[in-house]
Structure formats: structure tokens, C-alpha cells
Amino acid sequence: MLGSLRLATGVAVVTTILVGVQAIPKVTRTGRYLYQEDGTRFYIKGIAYQPQGEVIDSPDNDFGEPSTYIDPLAIPAGCTRDVELFKQAKINAVRVYSVDSSANHDACMKTFSDNGIYTIIDLALPLNGSIDRTVPSWSTNLLNQYLRTIDAFSKYDNVLAYNVGNEVVRDKSTQVAPYLKAAARDLKAYLRSKNSNALVGYASINGDSTWRNALADYLTCGSEDIAIDIYGLNDYSWCGDSDFNSAYAATTRSFANYNVVAYLGEFGCNTKPPRLFTEVSAIFSGQMSDIWSGGIAFSYFPARSRAGQFAMVEISADGKTATTNADWDKLVAQYGSVTPPNVPLKAAASESTYLNCNQPTSAFLASIVTPPTPNEKACECLDDALSCQFTPYKPDTYKVAGELINSGCSLLGSAGGSCDEIGGDGQKGVYGRLSGCDPLIKASYVMSQYFEATNKNPTTCAFGGNGTINADSPAAASAAASSCIPSPSAVFVPTLDSTSPGGSTSSSNSGSGSNSGSNANGGKNGAFGGIDALVGVSRMAVVGLLSAIWTLA
Ligand SMILES: *[C@@H]1O[C@H](CO)[C@@H](O)[C@H](O)[C@H]1NC(C)=O
Ligand SMILES: *[C@@H]1O[C@H](CO)[C@@H](O)[C@H](O)[C@H]1NC(C)=O
């Protein structure tokens, strides 16, 4: 006994620490409500938490989306600095728009967990790390990025939800919705395979109810396996000292029968300063609490968007101090004074029912046919077999691949070929055989097809030095595609192949790192910088935009 005294003392200390901190209660969903373990309702008293990345103004960047990001959950000193303020404001959740899966998040996640703060983690990264609303795809590179992030966060007890996207769909891009639904389906299957019940969500820009509500319903139709669990509406309609009837009544009515959790993914209009945050008393009142489970105030850190500047603190140059402003004081006062109704109790809440998905309308074009699960092994099989392979051009690999796809597709088009197999059409519900492959493999496929269309004239695999002839290629590209990808519409439980390329990027010029973008009614630092290197030609997808888009990076 004596011999083990030192050890025992050590254990005792550890035990004391563990006893001293109560574990954060698990929050789960029943029907359209969130509950803590004791059966009381959980409301999100949240704040958007992401320093804004670099926003490059250009006509192509009409939403002011950042092209770089800073992962705030990888900065322990920042989390320690901010958590005291969060406690003062009774904040219980932060929404983070882009995180780096290769960074260590232990310290921040623990700091937040110990203080009762949950996280809503958006899985997208700027630029090619998100589903691009112009040239969408749900492909292995994105799937792997999302799965790596889930793996990086699954060990923490305070992840409330993972978002598959932020403001990807807008009034003119409703045909992108099938890609989001496919992402939600695959991530749910992955989480289930890891015995995780973490919620999967999406955050929508507000807009005309004809497409906004259709999208909300689309994302939750069919069955639990293919439905998001939590829907965030980024709603800036309460400006100045508004009131429930003018700001939220119509929207709340239109979500009256919603089947999963809804919350305001962002709120905090800044067009009638000062920001009073009086909407908080409405959001957490009985007028809204039956439909909405709280919301996320935008934004803790300074964030500029088309709608102007948002901020509640100023961070000192050395990062040590956060100086709060008047907006913050208002938010603290409002969050501090609300007590949302604790009804219905968990025992009385109904489970969700999932309606059949609606056929598209003129306001909401999305097909009910969703893209397949991206198949890494099948795509790699094809890559190995191709006759003209893209030789990754560093550092702008994805940017160059996008350019090669563009130029290769137009060459192929003039040689009588087509890029249909690499593209997809969410309105028609038609997805090319390679639609789920990484853009780098798509580039090789296009290059190979062109090379073969010119009888393998060596100069046609040059592509300015970006192509390498594969003398061992066993078959023509299209035959290889049929044999490697025999079931192009297959849906299955994805796995994360640790050898898969990628890795999250952190910072830096060009395509990597970066902050999330999006958000519309003001860019804010939301997460969606969707810009992908994937373009089909002809009827399948848009071509020609890519180079313009890539100048953003
Ligand atoms: C590869 O492609 C890029 C983009 O088209 C081009 O700038 C570059 O010159 C090409 N060639 C080489 C050798 O990198
Ligand atoms: C985006 O591009 C960067 C740089 O080319 C690359 O490292 C990263 O893997 C890409 N991410 C995805 C999801 O394609």
C-alpha cells in the first residue's frame, strides 16, 4: 500500500478534478425538439464563432465569401479568453463554420465542454472544400474532408451537430439541393456506423418561402436515413426594435408542421443600428418556442459582408484581450433575461414523421433523385487504368485540375466526345459515372478521352506539361470507367480510407485554407466558399465559369 502512495495520490488528484467538473449533459433530438438527459428542453443560446478569413472582392464573389479560414477551435488561448465572456452571456453553443481536421482541438473543446458550451461544426471549407452552388458535386475529396472532420470531433462530448452546408442553395440554385441531401445521407450512415447519434444539419439563407420552405421540406423528406436532423434558418428579418409580427410571424407559421429541429442559424440584423437584440425575447418566448429551438447571434468576431460590418468584440493585436462593444452588452442583457418554456417535455414529444419527397416545381427545381455515394476505390481503380494521367501540379493542384477539365472538355467536344460522365444535373436527377470522383481523376479522365480520340498522338497528352502517358493502360477510358464503376448510382455506408489524399488545409494563399464563406445576406464569415474544380460540359453542367471562379483563389 505504502509503495503505491505516490501513484494513489496522483490518482486522487485526477479523481478530484473529474468530480469537480460535471460532464456536459448529452443533448438529443426527439421529433422537432432537443432535450437534455433529464428530459428538459434544450434551446440553443448561441453565437457565431469564427474570425473572418480573407475576403477577396471581385464580381465573382458577389456574396463576399472568404477564401481563407482561421480555425478558432485550434487556438486554446482564444477559447480560454472567450469562454469567460460566453459564461457572462449565458451562451451555451458556438457555431464554427470551418475547422481544420488535422489540428488539435482538445483544449478548446474541453474548455467549452467544462463550461457547458456545445459546438455546431460546419464541415465545409472555403473554395474547393464545399459543395459549389455553381458547379456542384458530391465527390470523394469532399466526402473525405467531411469524414476527417467528423473523425477529428467525434471524441468530444459537446458536438451538437455537423452541418453539411451553409447557404449553398439560393433562389437561382435550387437544383443543388440533391447534392446536400446525398451528403446528409452519407454522413448519417457514417455516423451510425460509428455508433454516433450526432445530429446532421444544414443552415439556409432566408428567402422567398416558395423555395425556402420547399428546400426545408426536401432536406427532411423520405426517411430518417436521408433527412437532416436540424435545420438552421439564417434570418436577419428582425432589424432595430422590431416585433414578432413584423419579423417572424409569417416564417414561424410556415414552419408550423416542420418535422425536425429548427433554429435560427444566424440572427442579428445590422441595418437599423444600434443592434438591440430584442429579437431574443421573441425567439425564446412561447410565440416561437414550439417551432424554434433558439438561435445563433452573428457574430462574435468582426465579420464584414455585403450587409456591412458585424462584431461583438475587438481582439487585441496580441490576441490576449477581447474588448466587447455595445452590441455585446445588448446580447448579454437579452440572453440573460430569457427563460424559454420547458414544453413539451420529452415524454410528450412526438417522434418525427417523414413525408414523401415532393416532385420539383418551378420555384424549387431539385430532383428527388440524389447523387450516389462517392466511391473512392472505384475512382482509384479508374485512375490507375487511364491512358493520360494528370500529373498534380503544385501548389494549385485543384485549380489546375479545374482549368484542365475546362480546356480538356472543350477539346473533347470539338473531337466529338463529351464530358457528360464527369458532370451531373440535380434538376434532371442524372449523375455521370464519374460524378463522385475527385476532380483530379476527372481531369485525367477527360485528358485520356481526348488523347484516345486523337489516336494517342503523344502531343495530345501534353497539356502544357500536366499530362503523363500511362503506357500500361489496359483499356480505353470509357471501358475502364464501366469496368471500375459498374454501379454508378450505388448508395452505401462510406468509410474513411486513411490513405486518401487530402487532409485539411490550413490557411495559405490559394486554394487551401480559408474561411468559410458565404452567407448571404451578408457574407459574414459563414462557411461556404463553394468552388469546386469540377465542371462538365454541354448539357450536364456549367462550363466556362471555372477559370473565372478560380481567380478567387
Ligand atoms: C499546367 O497547367 C497549368 C494550368 O493550365 C499551366 O499554367 C501550366 O503552364 C501547365 N504546365 C506545366 C508544365 O505546369
Ligand atoms: C482543395 O485544394 C487544396 C489545394 O489544392 C487541396 O489540398 C485539398 O485537398 C482540396 N480539398 C478538397 C476537398 O478537394
Same domain? 411 vs 287: no
Calpha distance 99→122 (Å, rounded): 8
| Cα 476 from Cα 449, distance rounded (Å) | 8
The number of the ligand 2 atom at minimal distance from the alpha carbon of 439 is: 14
Please identify, among 308, 331, 348, the residue that sits at the C-terminal boundary of a domain: 348
Of 293, 328, 348, the domain-final residue: 348
Last-in-domain residue among 296, 330, 348: 348
Summarize pLDDT for 439-483 with one digit per residue, the tens: 999 999 999 999 999 999 999 999 999 999 999 999 999 999 999
Residues 53, 165 share a domain: yes
Which ligand 1 atom is at minimum distance from the Cα of 466?
Answer: 1
| Residue 552 covered by a domain | no
Give the closest ligand to the alpha carbon of residue 406. Answer: 1
46-63 burial, b at 16+ Cβ within 10 Å, e below that, comes to bbbbbbbbebeeeebbeb
* Residue 250 included in any domain: yes
Helices 376-385 and 439-453, packing angle to 10 deg: 30
Q: Which atom of ligand 2 is nearest to the CA of 533?
A: 14
Cα–Cα distance between 495 and 147 in angstroms, integer? 8
Distance 511 CA to ligand 2 centre (A): 7
Same domain, 205 and 303: yes
pLDDT category of residue 535 using cuts at 50, 70 and 90: very low
Are both 490 and 427 inside the same structural domain? Answer: yes
pLDDT attached to residue 498: 61
Q: Please list, residue by residue across 421-455, b when 16 or more beta carbons sit within 10 angstroms of its beta carbon and e when fewer do.
A: bbbbbbeebbbbbbbbbbbbbbbbbbbbbbbbbee
Q: Give the integer Cα–Cα distance in Å for 134 and 293.
A: 32
Is 167 catalytic? The answer is yes
CB 397 less than 6 A from any atom of ligand 2:
yes
* Contact in structure between 26 and 116 (CB atoms under 8 Å): no
Query: DSSP letter at 69?
Result: B
351 is catalytic: no
What is the percent of the chain where pLDDT is above 90? 81
Q: Is residue 20 part of a domain?
A: no
Atom of ligand 1 nearest to the CA of 399: 4
Instruction: Check pLDDT > 50 for residue 511.
Output: no
Other C-beta atoms lying within 10 Å of the C-beta of residue 104: 12
Cα–Cα distance measured from residue 207 to residue 202, given in angstroms and rounded to the nearest whole number: 15
Residue 219 belongs to domain with CATH number = 3.20.20.80
Residue 78 lies in a domain: yes
Cell numbers linked to 499: 490513405
| Counted domains in the chain | 2
Please tell me whether residues 282 and 322 are part of one structural domain: yes
C-alpha cell, 541: 453542367
CA of 462 to the centre of ligand 1 (A): 10
- For 374-404, the pLDDT digits (tens) are 999 999 999 999 999 999 888 889 999 999 9
Statement to judge: residues 194 and 233 lie in one domain: yes
User: Do 344 and 381 have their domain in common?
Assistant: no
Strand partners, 34: 29
Query: With a 6 A CB cut-off, is 502 part of the ligand 2 pocket?
Result: yes
**Residue 189 shares a structural domain with residue 248:** yes
Q: Give distance in angstroms: CA of 420 to centre of ligand 1.
A: 24
Domain that holds residue 436: 376-495+519-543
Q: What is the pLDDT of residue 497?
A: 75
Q: Are strands 28-30 and 33-35 parallel, antiparallel or unpaired?
A: antiparallel
Q: Angle 109-124-148 (CA atoms, 0-180°, nearest 5)?
A: 60
Q: Is residue 235 part of a domain?
A: yes
How far apart are the CA of 464 and the centre of ligand 1, in A? 5
Q: Are residues 91 and 128 in the same domain?
A: yes
**Phi/psi zone of residue 318: left (φ > 0), alpha (ψ -120 to 50 degrees), beta?**
alpha
Residue 449's DSSP bridge partners are none
Query: Best mutation site among 135, 146, 505, 532 for ligand 2, i.e. most ligand atoms within 8 A of its Cβ?
Result: 505
465 lines ligand 1 (CB under 6 A): yes
Ligand nearest to the CA of 501: 2
pLDDT digits (tens, 9 = 90+) for 31-86: 999 999 999 999 999 999 999 998 888 777 777 788 899 999 999 999 999 999 99
The amino acid occupying position 274 is P
Identify the CATH number of the domain in which residue 471 sits. 1.20.58.1040
Does any ligand 2 atom lie closer than 6 A to the CB of residue 141? yes
Instruction: Read off the amino acid at residue 403.
Output: E
Mean pLDDT within 302-309: 88
Residue minimizing CA distance to atom 7 of ligand 2: 502
The finding on whether 544 has its CB within 6 A of some atom of ligand 1 is no
Quote the ligand 2 centre to 127 CA distance (angstroms).
9
Q: Residue 9: its pLDDT value, please?
A: 38
Of residues 167, 279, 380, 403, which has the active-site annotation?
167
**39 phi/psi in degrees, rounded to 5:** 90, 0
pLDDT at 273 over 50: yes
Binned at pLDDT 50, 70 and 90, residue 20 comes out as low
- Predicted confidence at residue 499, as pLDDT, reads 54
What mean pLDDT value characterizes the chain? 87
Do both 448 and 318 map to the same domain? no
Predicted confidence at residue 59, as pLDDT, reads: 76
Q: What pLDDT was estimated at residue 410?
A: 96
In a domain, residue 371? The reply is: no
405 Cβ inside 6 Å of ligand 1: no
Q: What confidence tens digit (pLDDT) does each residue in 128-159 have?
A: 999 999 999 999 999 999 999 999 999 999 99
Residues 241 and 337 in one domain: yes
Residue 514 within a domain: no
DSSP-H helix ranges across 343-396: 376-385
Q: How confident is the model at residue 16 (pLDDT cuts 50, 70, 90)?
A: very low
The mean pLDDT value for 172-182 works out to: 97
Same domain, 271 and 382: no
Does 356 map to a domain? Answer: no
Instruction: Inform me whether the pLDDT recorded for 539 exceeds 70.
Output: no
- Residue 529, pLDDT above cutoff 70: no
- Rounded-to-integer distance, Cα 43 and Cα 92, Å: 9
